[in-house]
Structure 1
Amino acid sequence: MFYSRQRGSALVVSLFIITVMGAFAAAMIRIDWSGQDTTAREVFSTRAWYAAHSGNEIVLSKLFPLGQTESDPDVCLEYKDGKALNANLFSCQTLVVTCSRTSYQDSGSEAFKYHIESTATCGAGQFSTTRTQEVWAKDLEVALP
């Protein structure tokens, strides 16, 4: 007789456990999705940062070629209005580099100051990330031997 009064308690306990475990699983899935979202944004952000950095490096290597003591100011004219570079190398959508130059007098001779700015966009939709980097460079006075 005592056994027959407890017949439904196991069903109530099992339903309670299933409900709690279901809520716990849903919370874990949400946390996992949030982590994946954050990781994707970090990856696209890093790609955009390095793409913008590389854009600046490309222009700097053309402005100041190895083995030359002076810059090549005509290179900056090529990037004056912004020039799109190949962003596919970084799995990005766009990479635009602009360059402006200003002349100044350095020990009586004309020299140039350069402002280079690169903007890269990686990712699409809600994961689209844009990073901009700028570099300032100038000619230096070269001491002749």
Structure 2
Amino acid sequence: MRHKKSSQQGSVLVVAIFVIVVMGFLATSLVQVQWSNHDTLTRKQLGTQAWLLAHSANEWALTQVYPLTVSPAVSTSVSTVCSTLNANQVSSGMSTICTVDQLTCSQIGVLDDVGFFKIESTAICGSGINQVQRIQEVWVRE
């Protein structure tokens, strides 16, 4: 039962090719997982920035509706200020990848002679496949 040496010479080559192919597939899958993690992290960070910018736009709108320096007795009505709010008035600061796309204020109803308004802001961050949008709303009363 002796095996001839000449019949076993190619087996190392087959094993080496098999190992190279398996390692190549493993490396490819690891690169895809790493890219996916990077993409998820980018979207998460952009989403947080958009959420904070939309929140800041709503806070800015509230300072326009209820200014701190004016007494309540002489302040203008919410409906008057509400009609002048728009996204062009909100500065996104130093950010070049985020903008306030919309800032709207609309009356949603009246209850016991008190008007209720909804301020809604939409912020967009990123571009292309990594573009995210966040919308926030605040309700105010007159």
TM-score, L = length of structure 1: 0.76
Please, which runs of 5 or more residues in structure 1 have no aligned partner? Answer: 140-145
Q: 1:40 offset after TM fit, Å? A: 1.4
Matches within 5 A, 1:37-48: 37-48=39-50
Q: 1:61 offset after TM fit, Å? A: 1.6
Counterpart of 1:129?
A: 132
Counterpart of 1:78?
A: 84
Q: What is the root-mean-square deviation in Å for CA atoms of aligned residues?
A: 2.6
* Partner SS, residue 87 of structure 1: coil
Q: 1:95 offset after TM fit, Å? A: 3.3
Matched, 1:26 2:31: no
* Partner SS, residue 135 of structure 1: strand
* Partner SS, residue 121 of structure 1: strand
Q: 1:138 offset after TM fit, Å? A: 1.5
Which is further off, 4-13 or 62-71? 62-71
TM-score, L = length of structure 2: 0.78
Cα separation, 2, equivalents of 1:29 and 1:129:
24
Aligned mate of 2:103, from 87, 90, 97? 97
* Partner SS, residue 55 of structure 1: helix
Cα separation, 1, equivalents of 2:32 and 2:87:
42
Cα separation, 2, equivalents of 1:103 and 1:26:
58
Cα separation, 2, equivalents of 1:36 and 1:57:
32
Aligned mate of 2:123, from 104, 120, 123? 120
| 1:98 partner letter | T
Number of aligned residues: 134
Q: Check whether the contact 2:100–2:121 (CA below 8 A) recurs between aligned residues.
A: no
Which is further off, 69-78 or 11-20? 69-78
Cα separation, 2, equivalents of 1:103 and 1:4:
93
Which is further off, 85-94 or 34-43? 85-94
Identity of aligned residues (%): 37
Q: 1:7 offset after TM fit, Å? A: 1.9
Cα separation, 1, equivalents of 2:19 and 2:54:
53
